[in-house]
Amino acid sequence: MKSGYIFKELRTESVSVSDTIVVEKGSFKILTVGGEITGMYMTEWRLSDKLWLIVNEISRME
What are the tens digits of pLDDT across the range 31-57? Answer: 999 999 999 999 999 999 999 999 999
High-pLDDT (> 90) share of the chain, %: 89
Domain 5-56 falls under CATH 3.50.50.60: no
Residues 27 and 61 sit within 8 Å (Cβ to Cβ): no
Confidence at residue 1, expressed as pLDDT on a 0 to 100 scale: 66
How far from 25 is each of 36, 46, 49, 53, CA to CA, in Å? 20, 15, 24, 16
Predicted model pTM: 0.84
What are the tens digits of pLDDT across the range 14-35? Answer: 999 999 999 999 999 999 999 9
Whether the predicted pLDDT of 2 surpasses 80: no
